[in-house]
Amino acid sequence: MKKLLLLLLCIGTLQAGAQTLAQPDRIKTEKGDLVIQPVTHGSLALQWNGKTIWVDPYGGAALYTGLAKPDLILITDIHPDHLDLKTLQALPVTEAIVVAPQAVVDQLPDAMKAKAVVLSNGASTKQLDINIQAIPMYNLPESATAPHTKGRGNGYVLRIGNKNVYLSGDTEDIPEMRALKNIDVAFVCMNLPYTMDVNQAASAVLDFKPKIIYPYHFRGQNGLSDVNAFKTQVEAGKKNVEVRMREWYPKN
């Protein structure tokens, strides 16, 4: 009886600590579906062709319960909502390839550093049959004291099957983002004072015209940005951009 009570207590504790994630989306590619799992803030998981990619794992190990362990990890910046060493060290990540800028790799534990691929802005690598290009991400006007200086962090464009996926990381409304072409799926940030507001984000999205856009990374200094206003502006632009609203801030 005592063992049963202890078992029930353990199960209850696990359930209490569990997080409810948004339902995953599926995007068809020429080599099977790309599965998109929002996790939290700027973090997500992608599954394709039998491989799992984690982007900016953050927010505690409980959020990743039930997700397949990563074969590849992309990290965009050194800030703790992107490079979360406590979360990384609590998860089964030591066998994963890490793609990140030098400033991130310098801070990784030795086991992860040994499997890291350093990418600077504009460089590319091919991992797990996925081409990965590093895109600049930075604040305007450029300043040595800006939260995100040019060259330190990376956004990414992934070529997954026949689809191009853009991950903005922490960026303002920069010309390199507006110049993107043929983006099928985009994840774009919008949180003041660290990146840009919803008006800047909507204007940029209407310029580079991804087929599908997910507003993500929208918790700022004064709470959550008005992503509904972002959606309204993008849809009013009539550029055939589908805005997908998902739950990026799961609750217990």
pLDDT of amino acid 107:
97
On whether the CB atoms of residues 215 and 226 are closer than 8 A, the answer is no
Q: How many Å apart are CA 234 and CA 236, to the nearest integer?
A: 5
Answer whether residue 208 shows pLDDT above 90: yes
> Regarding predicted confidence, which is higher, 231 or 18?
231
Answer whether residue 127 shows pLDDT above 80: yes
Judge if pTM exceeds 0.85. yes
User: Mean pLDDT for the chain?
Assistant: 91
pLDDT of amino acid 237:
96
Tell me, what CATH number does 106's domain have? Answer: 3.60.15.10
Domain membership flag for residue 8: no
pLDDT of amino acid 13:
35
Answer whether residue 2 shows pLDDT above 50: no
Q: How many Å apart are CA 234 and CA 214, to the nearest integer?
A: 12
Q: How confident is the model at residue 252 (pLDDT cuts 50, 70, 90)?
A: low
Domain membership flag for residue 33: yes
Residue 219 to residues 82, 125, 168, 205, 249: CA-CA distances in angstroms? 13, 31, 15, 19, 9
Domain count, the chain: 1
Q: Which domain holds residue 181?
A: 23-243
Answer whether residue 25 shows pLDDT above 50: yes
Answer whether residue 221 shows pLDDT above 80: yes
Averaged pLDDT, 25-50: 97
pLDDT of amino acid 70:
98
pLDDT of amino acid 145:
86
Look up residue 106 and give its two tokens.
């310098």
Q: How many Å apart are CA 88 and CA 58, to the nearest integer?
A: 8
Domain membership flag for residue 10: no
Averaged pLDDT, 221-235: 96
